[in-house]
């Protein structure tokens, strides 16, 4: 299994290149979290194929019988092998472990139909756990059955947007495959970064730029006229796909040169800009929500910016920067946030209510910290919305609220007089410390077998 450089690794690679300080002045330094659509490998290969990019012959299979049938079609001679690849949206599949069976490896090579049948039975219907999935893993419901491609040489190529160059960038290396991270660390000079021009609508990369990238991949005209021309055409087709489909990244690792002098995109990862969903409906229809955190899928239906984590302190904040600062201070005081949740500056009562519902349904959440700054919106209006939403959601855990900004005194009075038991805090330090301590108490009680409930109090209680 060839490793692809997932988000942060691409940034790490580019940062290594940035240290050269010579001809590679244009580099990628994108360390922020990016939200994008991710599709399966078999879907990426179909898309590449539609743009004239050569990929290995292969089929998707959703059952053992379909896997066997696909293998029979691909195993045309005794010399042929097929590769079975678990279709889960995570890197590190080759070193993954299937649970609960304990079968190792999400990528396997088979030379007979009997081998294919045995392997498919061990892979389908299991949870594949990799270093990127967390302990729960992700369900393997489909396999990519691909004809094995033998490589004379492996290369690396990625197209992505870079903030520093304020436009698209190509990252290319004549060495690719499983060792790309080691190459980036040990010999960054072997990796080239090339800023790309934005062509007119309907056009693609000019031949001169594509030829420069091909040279960086070791596909020089002097070495082989055919390989050079094929490489230029492949690069131009990849860039056309990148632009026309609103991609944020197209990464090919490895880009393989075969003993027969052909070039194949053996493994590819394609990400798409979520902001382009309105004009890429066919692409976004490929979204596989079974591969995502169910909490994130639920939140996205209501326009909430939610990212699930493994902690026990639920967070509800307005503003991404304030949300990240809130998570940091929770960690500072020894706690662990259960999520990132930015309800935004213009959140509706319905959105706040849905946010409460999602947090309240998370069995791992032992306390909820609300940190809201009332700028455009008044704090008293926000406080009333919080009280109403908490009542409807029947919040089961302690609720710590820190409000600051316009009409904050009135907001505190609303919370004080409400029938909802809210624990107020005057500043973020106090709020975080209370959330951490209360979550610890609730968690310890649960571990000791003591039931702890948080109930709303009746008026006058």
Residue 155 assigned as binding residue: no
Residue 377 assigned as binding residue: yes
Looking at beta carbons, which pairs linking 198-205 to residues 24 or more positions away fall under 8 Å?
198/167, 198/168, 198/243, 199/243, 204/236, 204/237, 204/239, 204/240, 204/243, 205/235, 205/236, 205/239, 205/240
d(CA 53, CA 50): 7
DSSP secondary structure letter of residue 270: E
Name the 3-class secondary structure at 76. Answer: coil
Residue 93 assigned as binding residue: yes
Q: Which of 42, 59, 156, 296 is catalytic?
A: 156
Q: Which of 41, 59, 215, 251 is catalytic?
A: 251
Active-site residue, 215 included: no
Active-site residue, 51 included: no
**Going by C-beta distance under 8 Å and a sequence separation of 6 or more, which residues neighbour residue 77?**
none
Residue 271 assigned as binding residue: no
d(CA 459, CA 409): 21
Are the C-beta atoms of 207 and 246 separated by less than 8 Å? no
Residue-level length of the chain: 461
Are the C-beta atoms of 442 and 367 separated by less than 8 Å? yes
User: Which residue bears the tokens 């038991």?
Assistant: 421
Residue 357 assigned as binding residue: no
Residue 94 assigned as binding residue: yes
**C-alpha closest to that of 312 among 408, 133, 447, 212:** 447
d(CA 361, CA 364): 9
Residue 79's alpha-carbon distances to 1, 107, 113, 149, in angstroms, are: 20, 19, 13, 12
Residue 253 assigned as binding residue: yes
Catalytic residues: 156, 251
Binding-site positions for substrate read 318, 375-377
Binding-site positions for Mg(2+) read 253, 267
Binding-site positions read 85, 92-94, 154, 253, 267, 318, 375-377
């Amino acid at each position: 299994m060839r490793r692809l450089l997932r988000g942060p690794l691409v940034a790490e690679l580019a940062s290594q290149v940035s240290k050269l300080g010579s001809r590679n002045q244009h580099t990628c330094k994108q360390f922020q979290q990016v939200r994008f659509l991710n599709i399966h490998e078999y879907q990426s290969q179909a898309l590449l194929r539609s743009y004239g990019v050569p990929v290995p012959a292969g089929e998707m299979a959703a059952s053992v019988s379909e896997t066997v049938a696909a293998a029979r079609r691909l195993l045309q001679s005794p010399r042929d092998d097929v590769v079975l690849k678990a279709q889960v949206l995570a890197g590190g599949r080759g070193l993954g472990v299937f649970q609960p069976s304990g079968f190792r490896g999400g990528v396997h090579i088979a030379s007979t139909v009997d081998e294919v049948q045995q392997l498919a039975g061990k892979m389908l219907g299991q949870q594949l756990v990799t270093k990127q999935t967390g302990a729960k893993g992700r369900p393997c419901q489909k396999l990519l059955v691909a004809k094995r491609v033998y490589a004379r040489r492996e290369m690396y190529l990625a197209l992505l947007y870079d903030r520093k160059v304020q436009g698209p960038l190509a990252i290319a290396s004549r060495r690719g495959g499983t060792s790309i991270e080691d190459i980036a660390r040990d010999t960054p000079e072997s990796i080239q970064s090339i800023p790309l021009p934005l062509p007119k609508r309907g056009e693609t990369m000019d031949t001169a730029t594509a030829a420069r990238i091909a040279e960086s991949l070791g596909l020089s005209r002097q070495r082989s006229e055919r390989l050079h021309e094929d490489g230029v055409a492949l690069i131009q087709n990849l860039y056309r796909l990148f632009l026309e489909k609103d991609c944020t990244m197209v990464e090919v690792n490895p880009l393989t040169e075969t003993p027969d002098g052909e070039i194949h995109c053996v493994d590819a990862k394609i990400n798409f800009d979520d902001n382009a969903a309105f004009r890429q409906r066919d692409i976004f229809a490929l979204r596989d929500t079974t591969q995502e955190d169910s909490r994130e899928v639920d939140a996205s239906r209501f326009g909430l910016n939610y990212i699930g984590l493994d902690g026990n302190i639920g967070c509800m904040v307005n503003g991404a920067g304030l949300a990240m600062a809130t998570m940091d201070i929770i960690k500072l005081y020894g706690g662990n946030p259960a999520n990132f949740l930015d309800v935004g500056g213009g959140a509706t009562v319905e959105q706040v209510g849905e946010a409460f519902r999602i947090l309240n349904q998370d069995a791992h959440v032992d306390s909820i910290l609300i940190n809201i700054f009332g700028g455009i919106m008044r704090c008293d209006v926000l406080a009333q919305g919080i009280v109403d939403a908490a009542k409807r959601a029947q919040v089961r855990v302690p609720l710590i609220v820190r409000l600051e900004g316009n009409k904050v005194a009135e907001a505190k009075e609303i919370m004080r007089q409400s029938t909802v038991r809210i624990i107020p805090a005057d500043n973020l330090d106090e709020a975080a410390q209370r959330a951490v301590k209360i979550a610890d108490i609730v968690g310890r009680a649960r571990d000791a077998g003591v039931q702890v409930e948080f109930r709303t109090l009746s008026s006058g209680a």
